[in-house]
Structure 1
Amino acid sequence: MRQPASAAERAVVQKGWTLYGQVYSHGTTTVFTAMSGVDGMCRPLGYQAFVYSEGRYAGTLSPVPMDSRTDSSLTNIRLIGATRIAAEFARYGKSDPLCCPSKKSTVNYNLRNDEIPDLTPVNVNTVAMCQTNKPAEGSNNNDATSLFGKRWLLTEIGEQKLSANKLYIEFDKKQSRVSGDSGCNRFFGGFEINGTSLKFSPLASTKRACLTPEANRLETSFLRSLEETTRFDVQGKTLRLYAGERQVLVFTSE
């Protein structure tokens, strides 16, 4: 639990909510959680995630308040950019123990920063949490082994989607080395993994000049984003790299 630190949080507290957990922010967009009570193990009850844009209320991530360890309860928040948010919700089957929901749903939202901000869910993807055999397409496989033996093609930098480009990255498990193509040059370096935490050592590259300013900008942004990376997330053939809670790069495997 914590005290309000902004006008938006004070407005929510004045309505009877209690703030808890971290604040997620990207540019002028802020997401924070608040609850109406706790259970016997201090888990939040009647909780909600509030979204504000430039200090103005935009909406909530759930249409109704939630209770911990129940179906459709919020479990994770990711700010992909100032106008894009992803949230994960636990999905319980009838026979699932309270500790372990068998599925999760990921909802993606768009935030329109008009005079009256508007938060809109645009799609939802539900996957199994555990697989006894080969993971199904789209399911989580966040073991580090999911990174190796693949060429990961870059498809997004920040909020910019890319198409028909040759930028990629490959992970060498035996040597704990990474290499790839940044557009104008080849790059290489080391990496360290601990769970889903990922950190690259200072990257070196060849010294060819880019032919266009746009290629130079793309290469610089790509390499800088790699150096900022703190963790990874793999879902099926998609690899996402994050700097804290901010998504910086998205790849797809060949």
Structure 2
Amino acid sequence: MKYKFGNLLLLFASVFALSSCSMFEHNTETKLMENVLFYNEWRLELVGSTKVKYADENERITLVITDEPQNVSGHSACNRYFGKVSVKKDKISFKQLASTQMMCPQQKMDLEHKYFQALEKVNAYTIDEEGKLYLKHDDKILLVFNL
């Protein structure tokens, strides 16, 4: 009986240790993802599955997220923008977005409008091993950025 109880105890201890390692790996992965997310200038590559084409470097759409306080800012093809962001683990949302109100060619204005529409729908993010940031609504990728 002692032998069976000892094996059972060893089994439970092993399962607990393995699950703790798994939780540690997940927490470490989340922390690394958050560290890369903050204080970098992300450059928009895709809106949905459409590649963004820029005539020059100055019109790139950018995204900068700060941690404390959690804010967002950047350039949106035509205007500068700023607002609040909430980041918790792999969840993210953008609130109270505002921008300057400069007029630009219609093509830039259309791109900017699509960008803001997508940003308002975002509720999750991932960063892959290549350093690409995916802003998603649930599992649907809305925006893709690189550093």
Q: TM-score range by the shorter chain?
A: 0.7 to 0.9
AA in 2 matched with 1:214? Q
Deviation at 1:214, TM superposition (A): 1.1
CA distance in 2, matches of 1:153, 1:159: 15
Q: Report 1 or 2 for greater relative contact order, CA contacts < 8 Å, sequence distance ≥ 6.
A: 2
Give the 3 Å change call, closer, same or farther, for CA 142–244 of structure 1 in structure 2.
Answer: farther
Counterpart selection for 1:158 from 41, 48, 73:
48
CA distance in 2, matches of 1:142, 1:244: 21
How many residues are paired up? 120
Which residue of the partner structure matches residue 38 of structure 2?
148
Which residue of the partner structure matches residue 228 of structure 1?
121
CA distance in 2, matches of 1:142, 1:154: 21
Segments of 5+ residues of structure 1 without an aligned counterpart are 1-96, 102-129
Superposition map of 1:61-140 within 5 A: none
Deviation at 1:163, TM superposition (A): 3.5
- TM-score, length of structure 2 as denominator length: 0.73
Counterpart selection for 1:203 from 88, 97, 111:
97
- The answer as to 2:143 corresponding to 1:249 is yes
Counterpart selection for 1:179 from 41, 52, 73:
73
CA offsets 1:142-172 (integer angstroms, 9 cap, x no match): 6322211210000000110123351100011
Which residue of the partner structure matches residue 10 of structure 1?
none
Higher Rg: 2
Segments of 5+ residues of structure 2 without an aligned counterpart are 1-17
CA distance in 2, matches of 1:221, 1:141: 30
CA distance in 1, matches of 2:67, 2:87: 10
Which residue of the partner structure matches residue 132 of structure 2?
238
- SS of residue matched to 2:87: strand
Q: Deviating runs (4+, > 6 A) in structure 1?
A: none
CA distance in 2, matches of 1:175, 1:141: 17
CA distance in 1, matches of 2:115, 2:53: 14
Which residue of the partner structure matches residue 106 of structure 2?
213
Q: Using the aligned pairs only, state the percent identity.
A: 26
CA distance in 2, matches of 1:142, 1:182: 27
- Is the Cα–Cα contact under 8 Å of residues 65 and 71 in structure 2 kept in the other structure? yes
Higher helix share: 2
- TM-score, length of structure 1 as denominator length: 0.43
Higher strand share: 1
- The answer as to 2:84 corresponding to 1:190 is yes
Q: What RMSD in Å do the two structures reach over aligned CA positions?
A: 2.4
